[in-house]
Structure 1
Amino acid sequence: MSDDLEILLTNDDGIDSTGIRALHDALSEHANVTVVAPANDQSACGRSISHAVDVREHELGYAVDGTPADCVVAGLAELGPEPDMVVAGCNKGANLGEYVLGRSGTISAAVEAAFFDVPAIATSLYVPVDDTPFDEIDVGPADFEEATRVTSYLVEHALETDLFDHAAYLNVNVPLPDTDPAPIEITEPSKRYEMGARRDGDVIHLTDRVWESMDPETIPDPDGTDRRAVAEGRISISPLTAPHSTNHHETLEALAESYFETVAAADR
């Protein structure tokens, strides 16, 4: 990794989170890192964007009273030097599956960078969930060692290849560190979706039951998916594209043609 490499670092957990500090310290050993991150937790905000946001200097860089997408736009257009790459993370909690891609602030920061035509990596830490509420699960700097190692490796080596000619960004999900480094598996986002809702008087409780079946012995996600890879102790890397592609089809063309004919006939 060259000392001249410029990295814009952001996240959605907030600038004071343990994960962004761990990633900042690891990347700063061999690159110039500019942090532009939300002042507060912005988890699951997707690509929400603001018209104006307050910004203030922080010991790591800049704290923005806005979303990860706000931070990427502000960092690329105004606050930082032109970066070679945008890195988002390291998120506490995995970002796995197709349905998460538009919901996660971490992923959304990488997507926003893609619209600027800047390569991006989004890194998240898979934290197994038991009966303890997720907000009460404590992760320290040592828990991010595997995540920071693989992210640093990708930042150092990926730009030297043609990888980002084919992928706009990488969604990287990493298990907690073990005694041995985890192997990498190139994956596709799982298609599994188990959101539900339960009414309790005037309150609707939204639930994501997908996390209830992460046991590697019984997980239903097929081989090759991000969720199975991480549950079984491997690092998942999904190379993804943005903006979203369109799929032209003769059926839709026929519907468009019949619409005009139907409306024209009704006006006669």
Structure 2
Amino acid sequence: MTDSLEILLTNDDGIDSPGIRALYDALSEVANVTVVAPASDQSAVGRSISHEANVIDHELGYALEGTPSDCVVAGLAELGPEPDLVVSGCNGGANLGEYVLGRSGTISAAVEAAFFDVPAIATSLYVPATGDRSFDEIELGMESFGEATRITSYLAEHALESGIFEHAAYLNVNVPMPNGTPADIEITRPSKRYDMDATLNGNSIRLRDCVWEEMNPESISDPPGTDRHAVVNGRISISPLTAPHTTNHHETLERLVERYRSHLR
């Protein structure tokens, strides 16, 4: 264990999920790890924040009856030592594409850390649904996260000194399931693919993310260089990202504002 490296570990699947346990065991080999994670599943809550959340002692650290963003704020401001790095995951299920960046609790924890000027890594496991089994029917054990823990531990141990976080606020890492040999790595950008649909059924609306229905490596429409293309083809995707928005100052908006001013005269 490296005494000088402090890591705050959280997730959105809940503190009792196998993904965070696997990461805790792996990261503890290279760092001092403080866990502050949701007491229950908080998937897809984005950067939701609570005004107050109960804290429960847990064998891994602290379970918070709140969201991933709650956990990062509580961990950084109160519950843990000042960390060098925040790690979020490992999520059971991939977080791919631009549209998930504000939706995923896993990624939102990393974004929250960025506002504290603490570098972060968000790690997710791509779990392909095969045959008649849906994603929810696939059971993940500690061994399922072997590839994810290996790359996350490596990044945690070496990324800070490499200078990566001088250019990126956080890394969004998506990892394929282990297949016996270490997967290759591709530096990627988030896919722009978006295909949400809604169907009215009586008084209810069913929302469906159709993107996940097209994850065949031979026919995937996402171009090379994107996170989805890399993971579907069996590679680890690492997207270096900034948080959360940038400003595009341009003359078109300036002209529109000037028209508004003229309108008021």
What TM-score do you get using the length of structure 2 for normalisation? 0.98
For 1:174-253, list aligned pairs within 5 A. Answer: 174-253=175-254
Task: Name the SS of the counterpart of 1:89 in structure 2.
Answer: strand
Find the aligned partners of 1:224 and 1:66 in 2 and give their Cα distance.
35
Find the aligned partners of 1:149 and 1:226 in 2 and give their Cα distance.
19
AA aligned to 1:120 is A
Matched, 1:172 2:173: yes
Find the aligned partners of 1:38 and 1:127 in 2 and give their Cα distance.
22
Find the aligned partners of 2:180 and 2:58 in 1 and give their Cα distance.
35
CA RMSD of aligned residues (A): 0.9
Cα deviation 1:38-60 (Å, max 9, x = unaligned): 00100000000111111111100
Q: Report the number of matched residues.
A: 264
Give the aligned partner of residue 78 of structure 2. Answer: 78
Find the aligned partners of 2:14 and 2:189 in 1 and give their Cα distance.
28
Give the aligned partner of residue 21 of structure 1. Answer: 21
Find the aligned partners of 2:233 and 2:134 in 1 and give their Cα distance.
22
Give the aligned partner of residue 123 of structure 1. Answer: 123
What TM-score do you get using the length of structure 1 for normalisation? 0.97
Kindly indicate whether the alpha-carbon contact (under 8 Å) linking 1:20 and 1:90 is maintained by their aligned counterparts in 2: yes
Kindly indicate whether the alpha-carbon contact (under 8 Å) linking 1:14 and 1:41 is maintained by their aligned counterparts in 2: yes
AA aligned to 1:86 is V
Find the aligned partners of 1:117 and 1:12 in 2 and give their Cα distance.
21
Identity of counterpart residues, as a percentage? Answer: 75
Unpaired runs of 5+ in structure 2?
Answer: none
The worse-fitting range, judged by mean Cα deviation, of 13-22 and 132-141 is 132-141
Give the aligned partner of residue 160 of structure 1. Answer: 161
Find the aligned partners of 2:166 and 2:252 in 1 and give their Cα distance.
32
Give the aligned partner of residue 59 of structure 1. Answer: 59
AA aligned to 2:27 is L
Kindly indicate whether the alpha-carbon contact (under 8 Å) linking 1:129 and 1:211 is maintained by their aligned counterparts in 2: no
Cα deviation 1:59-97 (Å, max 9, x = unaligned): 000000110000000000000000000000000000000
The worse-fitting range, judged by mean Cα deviation, of 83-92 and 46-55 is 46-55
After TM superposition, give the deviation of residue 261 of structure 1 in Å.
Answer: 1.6
For 1:130-141, list aligned pairs within 5 A. Answer: 130=130, 131-141=132-142
Unpaired runs of 5+ in structure 1?
Answer: none
AA aligned to 1:242 is A
